[in-house]
Structure 1
Amino acid sequence: MTCKKRTPPRRSAVAATAVALLLPLAGCGGDAEAGDGSTVTVTVGYQSKTINTVTAGTLLRSLGYFEKQLNALGDGRTYKVNWQDYATGAPITAQMTAGKIDIGSMGDFPLLINAARGTQLGRPTRLVSVTGYNLRGGLNTIVTAPDSKLSSLKDLRGKKVSTSIGSAADGTLVRALQRAGIDPQDDIEKLNQQPAVGASALSAGSADALSQFVAWPGLLAFQGKAKALYDGAELNLPTFHGVTARQDFAKKRPAVLEAFLKAQSQATDYLHDHPVSASEKVAKATGLPAEVVHLYNGGHGIATFGLALQPRLISALKKDVAVLKSAKLVGDIDVDAFVDDRYVKRALGTSAYAEQLAAAPPATASEVWPEGATETRTFTSPSALLRHVSAHKASVRAAYVPDTTTGTLWFADKAVWVADKDALLPFVTAAGARAYAAGHEGARTLPYAGALARAADAPEPS
């Protein structure tokens, strides 16, 4: 029999989950084994364009590390990996709870729905590792059209805002609006749309703003189709992506799950050691611009990659439950029972795992990607980067700078700049720049071209 992956219908993430759970599924995928036990197929669900899962999906697949780890098991079996690519976490959860996907990766809010559905349907799943994370929440951003007159969250009152209900981006929207004194239920018209649909709605003018997760905000900004209205890192709440496995699969094939986690660790090392090459590989596999991939996944990108199930990430996950409960998407969730670090500890080793738990996120830095280069160049300050760019405009492929307040990396030419005495300071949003300027006498905002010109005229620091 030839197995064909069902293409999920184009509908909301929540509706897709509900429908998928009710549909009969073909007898394909999952932990399939030949009658003699000699051949085992392991099915992995991933999201190629949710690029903070690449070490458990796109990049891992392109490097072939999982297959190599399986071949090295030496248990007399032949292993085959069935990679299934989806746009969101909802259909992965549907397939997992039907026993058709063994291992999946998704963002923190979908992970909670994964836990809830697994418990509800008697197919429990377990969170076994982390992929990419940002301790302040910078992986989610609210954007508007480039010519939009909206300048702050308060301007969203009465407006149409597109998001994917049940996603981390929706969680950012809800929390940000609540902090701004706006009721996310009554004061805006929320459009429940897949990211691509929401991006089209923003461009067409049928949505006033879009709240989405990596890599959509960066992609739309890079393409000149959006500007940032709100940086999710302003919430200062961690957001992350992780790997979930069916509990029955983990118990039946612990060596296979550990092989996956060892391979994920290798892919993470590759991303750290070869950030430009990794960005190029992910770009080739997904069709995303490499410059956008690097914004999130580069050496100083918005995301930090590591497998450890850090207490502060798990604590944030527990806080996320209340947001999903208020939207009536889940009931109570036993997060502690959902988290299972046994497999990743065995895969990495006790000392290596402890090192990851204790590791500090990399320091922010300004970064230039020269045309044709296999390595990027970092600078001590955004002002130093601007001086370099002004002198090498024709040879700069991309330039990135960290937000002065939140540290979120952004494209230098899309940032809002503030001149404060001799310093040139970048911000992801105009609201962030205005807030800084208002609190610093003599500081003023200026466009990118003005910042470049000012940097070019400034003397080199001694």
Structure 2
Amino acid sequence: MFSKRVVPLLALALTLPTAAGCGGAADADSGAETVTVTVGYQSKTINTVTAGTLLRSLGYFERELAARGKQDGTTYKVKWQDYATGAPITAQMTAGKIDIGSMGDFPLLINAARGKELKQPTKLVSVTGYNLRGGLNTVVVAPSSALKSLSDLRGKKVSTSVGSAADGTLVRALQRAGIDPGQGIGKLNQQPSVGASALAAGSVDALSQFVAWPGQLAFQGQAKALYDGAELNLPTFHGVTVREKFAKDHPGVLDAFLAAQRRATDYLRTKPVAAAESVAKETGLPAEVVYLYNGANGIATFDPALRPELIDALKQDVPVLKAAKLVNDVDVDAFVDPAPLKRAVRAPEYPQAPAAKPEVWLKGQSTTRSFDSPKELLKAVKGADVRAAYVPDAVTGTLWFADKAVWVADGADLRAFVTPAGAQAYVARHPGARTVGYADALRLAS
């Protein structure tokens, strides 16, 4: 399935500790009076922010530990280590240098497999953000690209990060399109930033990546969507993994982390604009892009709960990684441990998120406004001082920037789609429907 030439590179990344190693994840000073916990996170993978960027900026974990320290007389210290993907976090965890890490569903399985192989077993203890259809991953092409659908990738060069959730989406999508993921395309194993540069330089034809890269590139006018991962209709998520030994040695620290994660989730869900601004400040990402994924109607739903549908999806991911020879096997049921979350968080899980609505963020405003239809959004946007306008795909529900979406006029109705292929599929099924440009959509909405 995957190009064989990239597998050794991934294996090397997973097994060799990086230069950023902290030299010991949980150590004891002065007779175990000081405990240091090292957290690996991905600042720019913004559907992990409740266990990373946002959590760190809010200081909730440190506060939870400080309160615990007053009770047990221990001094707790937190070290935060930032990475671009999940692979180096796994490398550091299996070396005993990171205690708690957050990563996507495919990397989580590799984390489980490598932890078992290297006798540093890990456990999945919570979820950060998820999308039940798979909308967190997207394949994008250059703005001037003539490619219109995934089928057009046959024989083309595609950049992705092998073993990532975005790569899993690419593999499955190609298979559905009748293209051999290993032989039908030229796959390049690259870090997200490298792949984005390669796309801009024209050295690759497409880029398959996870949140927030596709949205960022589209927002900045450097890419357009070719394939919406939600077309797979398979859940994708990011979660929190912990070294089993650390969890047994310091259960209270893990409890504090999960309690803090829940508090950060509460903050994001009740103050989505403030959270987006905070994450943008910490990462350098545009706040408008952060809000696309993490907003009130964002692509990602935040809930620490280990939902059954997410665990079932994780089990469906195992054969993909086995076929790529990235894992031998993973016992998902043994990897998932719901006990710490139940122990640390007494509140029930959040209700299922409702369908996304069109939404506008006006300049100078600290709140956004939602609408019942794309047409109403367009009426409100015309002539307004807009910071960002968002609209859900008419079929998949994936939120996208209104001015980057592909619009379809169907009688008096106006519908938006993330990709040209999605719009064309709708037009083919609805006689009289036609694609229109954004300017025309604004005019027709008036």
| TM-score > 0.5, shorter chain as reference | yes
CA shift, 1:404, in A, is: 0.1
Task: Tell me the residue number matched to 2:15.
Answer: 21
Match of 1:39 in 2: 34
CA distance in 2, matches of 1:371, 1:17: 46
In 2: Cα distance, 1:14 partner to 1:45 partner: 23
The reply to whether residue 205 of structure 1 matches residue 197 of structure 2 is no
Take 1:366 and 1:205, find their aligned partners in 2: how far apart are those partners? 33
Task: Confirm or deny: 8 A CA contact 1:14 1:165 kept in the other structure.
Answer: no
Residues 43-62 of structure 1 correspond to what in structure 2 (within 5 A)? 43-62=38-57
Correspondence for 2:165: 168
> 1:441 Cα shift?
1.4
Q: 1:437 aligns with which of 408, 413, 427?
A: 427
Residue 360 of structure 1 is matched in structure 2 by: 352
Q: Deviations over 1:268-290 (max 9, x none)?
A: 00000110000000000000000
Matching residue within 129, 139, 142 for 1:142: 139
Q: Which residue of 1 aligns with 2:89?
A: 92
Identity of aligned residues (%): 70
Give the secondary structure class of the aligned counterpart of 1:72.
helix
1:182 aligns with 2:199: no
In the alignment, the residues of structure 1 paired with residue 247 and residue 120 of structure 2 have an alpha-carbon distance, to the nearest angstrom, of 12
1:231·1:429 contact (CA, 8 Å) conserved in 2?
yes
Q: How many residues align?
A: 439
Q: Distance in 1 between matches of 2:425 and 2:196?
A: 28
Question: 2:333 is paired with a residue of what secondary structure?
Answer: helix
Matches within 5 A, 1:11-410: 15=9, 18-19=12-13, 21-23=15-17, 28-73=23-68, 74-349=71-346, 352-353=347-348, 355-356=349-350, 359-392=351-384, 395-410=385-400
Which of 396, 419, 428 is 2:409 aligned to? 419
Distance 1:396 1:220, change over 3 A: same
Deviation per CA, 1:264-318: give whole Å up to 9, x if none.
Answer: 0000000001100000000000000000000000010000000000010000000
Residues 306/190 of structure 1: CA separation in 2 closer, same or farther (3 Å cut): same
The AA in structure 2 aligned to 1:382 is: P
Q: In the aligned structure 1, how far is the partner of 2:302 from the partner of 2:32?
A: 36
Measured in 1, the distance between the counterparts of 2:317 and 2:14 equals 24
Structure 1 CA distance, aligned partners of 2:18 and 2:148? 47
Q: Deviations over 1:347-406 (max 9, x none)?
A: 112xx23x44xx2123210000010111101011110000001131xx110000000000
Q: TM-score, normalised by structure 2?
A: 0.96
1:76-115 Cα distance to aligned partner (Å, 9 max, x none):
0111100111111111101111111110000000000000
In the alignment, the residues of structure 1 paired with residue 362 and residue 207 of structure 2 have an alpha-carbon distance, to the nearest angstrom, of 31
TM-score, length-scaled by structure 1: 0.93
- Give the conservation status (yes or no) of the 8 Å contact 1:13–1:164: no
Equivalent residues of 1:365, 1:380 under 8 A apart: yes
Query: Shift of the alpha carbon at 1:23?
Result: 4.9
Q: Once structures 1 and 2 are overlaid, which stretch shifts more, 359-368 or 433-442?
A: 359-368
Distance across 2 between alignment mates of 1:27 and 1:170: 29
Question: For residues 386 and 169 of structure 1, what CA distance do their matches in structure 2 show?
Answer: 31
Q: Is the 8 Å Cα contact of residues 132 and 303 (structure 1) preserved in structure 2?
A: yes
Match of 2:437 in 1: 447
Question: Which residue of structure 2 lines up, in the alignment, with residue 6 of structure 1?
Answer: none
The aligned amino acid for 1:340 is D
Could you say if the C-alpha distance between residues 451 and 326 of structure 1 is closer, same or farther in structure 2, counting changes exceeding 3 Å? Answer: same
- Matching residue's letter, 2:352: A
Q: Please give the root-mean-square deviation of Cα atoms over the aligned residues, in Å.
A: 1.5
Output the CA distance in 2 between the equivalents of 1:152 and 1:313: 28
Residues 156-211 of structure 1, C-alpha deviations (whole Å, 9 max, x = no match): 11111111110111111110011011111111111111111111111111101111
Supply the distance in 1 between the matched residues of 2:203 and 2:315 (Cα, whole angstroms). 34
Aligned partner of 1:420: which letter?
D
CA–CA separation in structure 1 for the residues paired with 2:8 and 2:162: 7
